[in-house]
Amino acid sequence: METLIKANGVELCAETFGDRDAPPLLLVGNTMLTWPDELCERLSGGRGRGPGGDGAERFVVRYDLRDTGRSTTVTPEAPGYTLRDLVADAAALLDALDLPAAHVAGFGVGGWIAQLLALDHPGRLATLTLISTRPTAPGPADADLPEHAPEMMAHFMDPPPVDWTDRASVAAFALGNARHVGGGGFDEAEARAAIEAVLDRTVVSGDDPGAAYRANLMASTFAALDSGDRWRERLGGIAVPTLVIHGEDDPFFPVGNGRALAAEIPGARLVTVPGMGQELPRRAWDVIVPAILRHTSASARP
């Protein structure tokens, strides 16, 4: 069941899966639906297919960032807060749930929050998992990191027309974007269902409904966010066990970004997923779920 939780001066909409007394796993994405229901259920139940499922439950927590889903929404495209505020939100959410520490997994732009949580609140993490993310904030990538794929950028720089007041038009536009960031074996029906689920939870108000749709479907808030100081040079200070998972077909943050994270975080382990783009598709769960379960297993800790 979804619950509104007061944290760091805002309300964050969170949902939990599994036994409250099991080891906690905080999932950070854009909206809570970055992490599909069944994926959360498999993680909470310790059910990895093939080697890696330990059968031990996890207490899984997913939540909506500010300006997404049912969390506090103000002006997504002119946020009056910073990336570090989103990091403080995550730490405050753990406080509100009475969780001194947790395993933390961040996907995509949520991976920036997870990295900074590990750097600025190191005592709050048992382990760190970074999926489909990179070690630099919005803007041009460092010279040694691969940039967004040119074909994908051509689509985003010259997008098809969309009526942001019409849900069907927005859904069709979002599906086109999902195709361009997805990997091989892209499942259109799965992507469409995920988009409709996000739209169902999007709170639309004010004179610009498109702002809410863009924040929920495209993480557009991050483009306007003050990201503060660089943190890539600090990655060597991450002291918790770290797992990096990255799709080999990711056109948004190409796989070289994941390799850089794994190389620069001491002791990090890299798992690449053939055919996966900037997505968490069902076809990749048999790799992702066992990898996370192994990483967060008590038997895997020193």
Q: 106, 87, 140, 122: which is closest to 261 by C-alpha?
A: 106
pTM of the model: 0.95
pLDDT in tens, the chain (302 residues): 899 999 999 999 999 999 999 999 999 999 999 999 999 999 999 976 545 556 789 999 999 999 999 999 988 889 999 999 999 999 999 999 999 999 999 999 999 999 999 999 999 999 999 999 999 999 999 999 999 999 999 999 999 999 999 999 999 999 999 999 999 999 999 999 999 999 999 988 767 889 999 999 999 999 999 999 999 999 999 999 999 999 999 999 999 999 999 999 999 999 999 999 999 999 999 999 999 999 999 755 54
- Which residues make Cβ contacts (< 8 Å) with residue 161, sequence separation at least 6? none
Long-range CB pairs of 192-197 (<8 Å, 24+ gap) are 194/33, 194/36, 195/171, 196/171, 197/33
Q: Give the DSSP letter string of 153-201.
A: HHHHHSPPP--TT-HHHHHHHHHHHHHHH--TT--HHHHHHHHHHHHHH
Identify the CA nearest to 192 among candidates 214, 171, 167: 171
**23 and 13 Cβ atoms separated by less than 8 Å:** no
What domains are there in the chain, each with its CATH number?
A: 2-147+223-300 (3.40.50.1820)
CA 104 to chain centre: 11
Q: Could you tell me whether strands 24-28 and 102-107 are parallel, antiparallel, or unpaired per DSSP bridges?
A: parallel
Would you say the C-alpha torsion 40, 44, 49, 52 has a positive or negative sign?
positive
CB atoms within 10 A of CB 234: 16
